[in-house]
Amino acid sequence: MSKTNYVDTVLEIVKKRNGNEPEFLQAVQEVLGSLRPVIADHPEFEETNLLERLVEPERQIIFRVPWQDDHGKMRVNRGMRIEFNSALGPYKGGLRFHPSVYIGIIKFLGFEQIFKNSLTGLMMGGGKGGSDFNPKGKSDSEVMRFCQSFMTELARHIGADTDVPAGDIGVGGREIGFMFGQYKRLTRKFEGVLTGKGLSYGGSLVRTEATGYGTVYFCNEMLKEQGQSFDGKTVLVSGSGNVAIYAHQKATELGAKVVAMSDSGGFVYDANGINLDTIQQLKEVQRLRIHEYTKQHPSAKYTEGFTGIWSIPCDIALPCATENELDGEAAAALIKNKCIAVAEGANMPCTPDAVHNFIAAGVSFGPGKAANAGGVATSGLEMAQNSQRMSWTFEETDQKLHQIMVNAYNVSKQAADQYGTPGNLVNGANIAGFMKVANAMLAHGLV
């Protein structure tokens, strides 16, 4: 088998075994596509079938989650946890509660997480989990009963040194609290088994803000490369959840104006800037839809459909909602409107066509596995604080987060240079993330 064919051979195997999981295939194709020059340089990876091992999760757990709704009716959802790779540490990654969740989504997220966690420089393996449970419209009691049932099964598989879940779409502080309570009750252990915990029971300052802040810190490094900054720039932020809100906050702090935000129903646009207090009240406190925003801000305009946001002229775009929310056409519109930088706050929000268009047009592009690594990095800092039984100040933690993001940018940029595609942070992040994991796997022998 020739060296250049090794990647194609593995891709064929992955397609054959996971043909009905398009998101997982997309993620694997992107990473392996970047690795061709590395594989050519390192015959030991092919000799040890390292890629075949890398694309197969170490463990996949799928379970029934029975729960009772407020009317006493028995309901059932599917729960899952993919423990993908533990070469660098305990499995680490979020839980997603959304009706679209199935094994292919969790595998794509778990696969991305391996390289993302590697890029943080902290010792964390890759994992992901979740359920097709839809928290929208459910009462707090229903969410609690679901979380308790979900944890009743999950508890036997996780632990502070084994597998440490956190939040993702549909899982925030409320859900983490319910799951932590149930874990503690079942195991009689008060330990750092989840991150994103409340500050009163072992959470870390900055974890709530971390993904959004980190994305802006990363994007700021991309802008510096062009001799630019956030100051005075017009920014689009898609989504209005955890990542989007704190991306808005940090971009605004650095002098930018965020003119649009969205949810799965549509987007609001206001040339004078989107008021973050109103968004936080609507989304974090009241859990309402974003169209409610215009009631308080009549100058803002609501448009149905969440993809239209990308046709608004901007300097910087931060997709912070969900996978494949920004396609080739949307990228073409952003390029036409002279957008200079795109950083992915969400996981895989840009389709392969969109990424291709940005890179071909010379738009500075920050891939999610590097640009949104701030969330899991700060989860790693939460684990460190839990192990020490200490907590650090906001400033100290934020400084560490900032340094991790600058470092993730630098290692990605260096790897892109070293392997012949200067400026291509997609290749750079994939290669830099991969090398550390691959070398650890080699050191561990046949695992």
Q: Which residues are catalytic?
A: 128
CA within 13 Å, CB half, 63: 19
Q: 242 touches which of ligand 2IT, ligand NDP, none (CB within 5 to 8 A by kind)? A: ligand NDP
Asked whether position 264 contacts ligand NDP by CB under 6 A, the answer is yes
Among 204, 211, 385, 424, binds ligand NDP (CB under 6 A): 211
Asked whether position 347 contacts ligand 2IT by CB under 6 A, the answer is yes
Q: How many residues bind ligand 2IT (CB under 6 A)?
A: 12
Q: How far is the CB of 168 from ligand 2IT (least distance, A)?
A: 4
In which residue are the tokens 């964390």 written? Answer: 124
Asked whether position 430 contacts ligand NDP by CB under 6 A, the answer is no
Among 34, 152, 372, 412, binds ligand NDP (CB under 6 A): 372
Q: How far is the CB of 252 from ligand NDP (least distance, A)?
A: 17
- Binders of ligand NDP in range 67-126 (CB under 6 A): 98, 100
Closest to ligand NDP by CB, 129 vs 167, is 167
In which residue are the tokens 């901007």 written? Answer: 314
Asked whether position 130 contacts ligand NDP by CB under 6 A, the answer is no
Q: 92 touches which of ligand 2IT, ligand NDP, none (CB within 5 to 8 A by kind)? A: ligand 2IT
Q: How far is the CB of 329 from ligand 2IT (least distance, A)?
A: 26
Q: 93 touches which of ligand 2IT, ligand NDP, none (CB within 5 to 8 A by kind)? A: ligand 2IT
- Binders of ligand 2IT in range 367-396 (CB under 6 A): 375-376, 379
Among 92, 233, 250, 283, binds ligand 2IT (CB under 6 A): 92
Three-state secondary structure readout of the chain: CCHHHHHHHHHHHHHHHCCCCHHHHHHHHHHHHHCHHHHHHCHHHHHCCHHHHHCCCCEEEEEEEEEECCCCCEEEEEEEEEEEECCCCCEEEEEEECCCCCHHHHHHHHHHHHHHHHHCCCCCEEEEEEECCCCCCCCHHHHHHHHHHHHHHHHHHCECCCEEEECECCECHHHHHHHHHHHHHHHCCCCCCCCCCCHHHCCCCCHHHHHHHHHHHHHHHHHHHCCCCCCCCEEEEECCCHHHHHHHHHHHHCCCEEEEEECCCEEEECCCCCCHHHHHHHHHHCCCCHHHHHHHCCCCEEEECCCHHHHCCCCEEEECCCCCCECHHHHHHHHHCCCCEEECCCCCCECHHHHHHHHHCCCEEECHHHHCCHHHHHHHHHHHHHHHCCCCCHHHHHHHHHHHHHHHHHHHHHHHHHCCCCCCHHHHHHHHHHHHHHHHHHHCCCC
Closest to ligand 2IT by CB, 54 vs 376, is 376
Asked whether position 93 contacts ligand 2IT by CB under 6 A, the answer is yes
- Binders of ligand 2IT in range 145-174 (CB under 6 A): 166, 168
Asked whether position 321 contacts ligand NDP by CB under 6 A, the answer is yes
Among 90, 94, 130, 241, binds ligand 2IT (CB under 6 A): 94
Among 163, 175, 263, 398, binds ligand NDP (CB under 6 A): 263
Closest to ligand 2IT by CB, 116 vs 233, is 116
Q: How far is the CB of 232 from ligand NDP (least distance, A)?
A: 26
What residues line the site for ligand NDP (CB under 6 A)? 98, 100, 167-170, 211, 239-244, 263-265, 306, 320-322, 325, 345-347, 372, 375
Residues that bind ligand 2IT (CB under 6 A): 92-94, 113, 116, 166, 168, 195, 347, 375-376, 379
